């Protein structure tokens, strides 16, 4: 299911927090040269687990070429918004902003 949702969008998904800091993780798209965004999806209703997850990301102290990197954190339901847009639904609000939780 994850492959179906993300693979077609040029996304690389990882399931390990440590993998966020692995040197093999590209920082730029080879086709466009645009910088990749690091995005984490969380279940915000589970506050304790979410806080623990964010703390573990923060402890990585991510950097690229000496510059501090951030991870954007969104409610996992962002994927539902995107799926509905692909089916033709239009929103009158910014679903990215609505799903945004924080930046670590």
Tokens describing residue 78 = 């962002």
Q: What is the DSSP letter of 74?
A: E
Could you identify the residue written with the tokens 């993780």? 25
- pLDDT 10s digits, 80-104: 888 888 889 999 999 999 999 999 9
Query: By C-alpha distance, which of 13, 1, 69 is closest to 41?
Result: 13
What is the Cα gyration radius of the chain? 15
Does the pTM surpass 0.85? The reply is no
- pLDDT 10s digits, 20-74: 777 767 777 777 888 778 888 888 888 999 999 899 989 888 887 788 888 899 9
Helix, strand or coil for residue 5?
helix
Name the residue ranges covered by the structural domains of the chain: 2-103
């Amino acid at each position: 299911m994850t492959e179906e949702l993300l693979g077609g969008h040029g996304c690389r998904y990882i399931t390990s927090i440590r993998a966020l800091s692995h040197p093999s993780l590209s920082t730029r798209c080879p086709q466009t040269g645009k910088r990749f965004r690091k995005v984490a999806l969380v279940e915000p209703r589970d506050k304790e687990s979410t806080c623990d997850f964010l703390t573990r990301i923060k402890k990585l102290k991510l950097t690229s070429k000496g510059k501090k990197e951030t991870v954007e954190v969104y409610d996992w339901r962002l994927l539902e918004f995107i799926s509905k847009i692909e089916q033709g639904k239009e929103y009158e609000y910014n679903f990215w902003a609505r799903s945004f939780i924080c930046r670590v």
